[in-house]
Structure 1
Amino acid sequence: MSVQSVLIDGRWRASSGRRTFRAVDPATGEELAEEYPISPWEEVEEAINAAARCFRIVRTWPGARFARFLEEYAKGIEQRVDAIVAAAHRETALPVTPRLREAELPRTLSQMRQAAEAAREGSWRRPIIDSRLNIRSQFGPIGPVVVFGPNNFPLAFNSVSGGDFVAAVAAGNPVIAKGHSSHPTTTRLLAEAAQEAAETTEMPPGFVQLIYRTSHEDGCRLVSHRLVGATGYTGSRRAGLVLKDAADRAGKPIYLELSSINPVFVLEGALAERSEQIADEFTASCLLGTGQFCTNPGLVVVRQSELGEQFLAQVRERFESSSPGTLLSAGVREQLASSVRRLVEAGAELVCGGHVLEERRFCFENTLLRVTGERFLENADVLQTEAFGNASLFVFARSVDQMVEIAEILEGNLTGSVYTDTSGTDDDGYDRIVPALRKRVGRLLNDKMPTGVAVTAAMNHGGPYPATGHPHFTAVGIPTAVPRFAMLECYDNVRPSRLPPELQDKNPTGRLWRYIDGTWTLGDVKPVGQGE
Structure 2
Amino acid sequence: MPITGMQLIGRQNIAGAGPSFQAVNPANGQAISPAWQGADARQVAQAVDLANAAFASYRETALEQRAVFLEAIAQAILDLGDELIERAMLETGLPRPRLEGERGRTVNQLRLFARVVRDGDWLDARIDHALPERKPAPRSDLRMRQIPLGPVAIFGSSNFPLAFSVAGGDTASALAAGAPVVVKAHPAHPGTSELVGQAIRSAVQQCQLHEGVFSLLAGPGIDLGLALVRHPGIQAVGFTGSRQGGIALMQAAAQRPVPIPVYAEMSSTNPVYLLPGALAARADALADQFSVSLLGSAGQLCTNPGLIIALDSPELDRFIARATQNIQEAPATTMLTTGIAQAYRQGVQRQLEHPAVQALARGLSDDDAPAYCQANLAVASAQGFLADPDALGAEIFGASSLVIRCADADEFQAISLALEGQLTATLHLEPGVDDALAARLIPILELKAGRILANGFPTGVEVCDAMVHGGPFPATSDSRTTSVGTLAIRRFLRPVCYQDIPDTLLPAALQAANPWHITRTER
Class of the TM-score when normalised by the shorter of the 2 chains? over 0.9
Name the stretch that deviates more: 360-369 or 149-158: 360-369
Deviation at 1:110, TM superposition (A): 0.5
Distance 1:402 1:271 in 2: 17
Which residue is 2:305 aligned to? Answer: 297
Contact 1:63 1:170 in 2 (8 A): no
Which residue, out of 454, 474, 478, partners 1:470? 478
Name the stretch that deviates more: 500-509 or 404-413: 500-509
Distance 1:395 1:130 in 2: 55
Matched, 1:515 2:521: yes
Matched, 1:212 2:218: yes
Deviation at 1:506, TM superposition (A): 2.9
Distance 2:3 2:199 in 1: 21
CA RMSD of aligned residues (A): 1.6
Which residue, out of 117, 135, 146, partners 2:115? 117
**Per the alignment, in what secondary structure is the counterpart of residue 290 of structure 2?**
helix
Matched, 1:371 2:380: yes
**Per the alignment, in what secondary structure is the counterpart of residue 405 of structure 2?**
strand
Which residue is 2:321 aligned to? Answer: 313
Which residue is 1:30 aligned to? Answer: 30
Distance 1:31 1:221 in 2: 27
Distance 2:93 2:462 in 1: 23
Distance 2:381 2:364 in 1: 22
Which residue, out of 402, 425, 446, partners 1:438? 446
**Per the alignment, in what secondary structure is the counterpart of residue 70 of structure 2?**
helix
Q: Which structure 1 residue ranges, 5 or more long, are not aligned?
A: 518-532
Contact 1:63 1:172 in 2 (8 A): no
Deviations 1:54-76 (A, max 9, x none): 11332322222221211111111
Distance 2:521 2:420 in 1: 36
Which residue is 1:391 aligned to? Answer: 400
Distance 2:465 2:73 in 1: 22
Matched, 1:457 2:465: yes
Contact 2:298 2:398 in 1 (8 A): yes
The amino acid that maps onto 1:13 is I
Deviation at 1:354, TM superposition (A): 7.9
Distance 2:269 2:254 in 1: 26
Which residue is 2:156 aligned to? Answer: 149
**Per the alignment, in what secondary structure is the counterpart of residue 22 of structure 1?**
strand
Which residue is 2:232 aligned to? Answer: 226
Moved over 6 A (4+): none
Which residue is 2:147 aligned to? Answer: 140
Distance 2:428 2:266 in 1: 26
Matched, 1:408 2:408: no
Which residue is 1:4 aligned to? Answer: 5
Contact 1:256 1:468 in 2 (8 A): yes
Deviation at 1:3, TM superposition (A): 6.6
Distance 1:129 1:359 in 2: 66
Which residue, out of 323, 338, 341, partners 1:330? 338
Matched, 1:505 2:512: yes
Deviation at 1:272, TM superposition (A): 0.8
**Per the alignment, in what secondary structure is the counterpart of residue 204 of structure 2?**
helix
Contact 2:331 2:365 in 1 (8 A): no
Deviation at 1:305, TM superposition (A): 1.6
Which residue, out of 171, 189, 202, partners 1:196? 202
Deviation at 1:137, TM superposition (A): 1.1
Which residue is 1:528 aligned to? Answer: none
Deviations 1:333-364 (A, max 9, x none): 11111211222343222111289641224112
Which residue is 1:43 aligned to? Answer: 43
Deviations 1:178-226 (A, max 9, x none): 0001111101001111111111111112111011126523422321322
The amino acid that maps onto 2:60 is T
Contact 1:164 1:232 in 2 (8 A): yes
Which residue is 1:90 aligned to? Answer: 90
**Per the alignment, in what secondary structure is the counterpart of residue 206 of structure 1?**
helix
Which residue, out of 150, 166, 176, partners 1:170? 176
Distance 2:59 2:427 in 1: 45
Distance 2:334 2:363 in 1: 15
The amino acid that maps onto 2:292 is A
Contact 1:108 1:156 in 2 (8 A): yes
Which residue is 1:66 aligned to? Answer: 66
The amino acid that maps onto 1:109 is V
Distance 2:4 2:12 in 1: 16
Distance 1:245 1:355 in 2: 40
Distance 2:143 2:385 in 1: 52
Which residue, out of 494, 502, 506, partners 1:495? 502
Deviation at 1:43, TM superposition (A): 1.1
Which residue is 2:76 aligned to? Answer: 76
Question: Percent identity, aligned pairs only?
Answer: 35
Matched, 1:235 2:226: no
Which residue, out of 353, 358, 369, partners 2:362? 353
Matched, 1:246 2:244: no
Which residue is 1:526 aligned to? Answer: none
The amino acid that maps onto 1:247 is A
Contact 1:340 1:354 in 2 (8 A): no
Which residue is 1:129 aligned to? Answer: 127
Deviations 1:373-405 (A, max 9, x none): 001011001111111111101000111110011
Deviation at 1:315, TM superposition (A): 0.5
Distance 1:86 1:2 in 2: 13
Name the stretch that deviates more: 355-364 or 482-491: 355-364
Contact 2:299 2:399 in 1 (8 A): yes
Distance 1:355 1:234 in 2: 29
Name the stretch that deviates more: 353-362 or 233-242: 353-362
Contact 1:337 1:354 in 2 (8 A): no
Q: How many positions carry a matched residue from both structures?
A: 510
Deviations 1:402-446 (A, max 9, x none): 001101111000000010114x12111111111111210000001
Matched, 1:100 2:99: yes
Contact 2:155 2:240 in 1 (8 A): yes
Deviations 1:290-339 (A, max 9, x none): 11111000000011121112111111111112212211111111111121
**Per the alignment, in what secondary structure is the counterpart of residue 146 of structure 2?**
strand
The amino acid that maps onto 1:120 is R
Deviations 1:11-64 (A, max 9, x none): 1222233x2101111111222122112111111111111111111332322222
Contact 2:268 2:422 in 1 (8 A): yes
**Per the alignment, in what secondary structure is the counterpart of residue 480 of structure 2?**
coil
Q: Which structure 2 residue ranges, 5 or more long, are not aligned?
A: 131-139
Deviation at 1:236, TM superposition (A): 0.5
Distance 1:332 1:16 in 2: 27
Distance 2:95 2:224 in 1: 34
The amino acid that maps onto 1:110 is N
Deviations 1:136-173 (A, max 9, x none): 11111111111001111111111x21000000000111
Distance 1:285 1:9 in 2: 40
Distance 2:119 2:498 in 1: 21
Distance 1:155 1:175 in 2: 16
Distance 1:109 1:9 in 2: 22
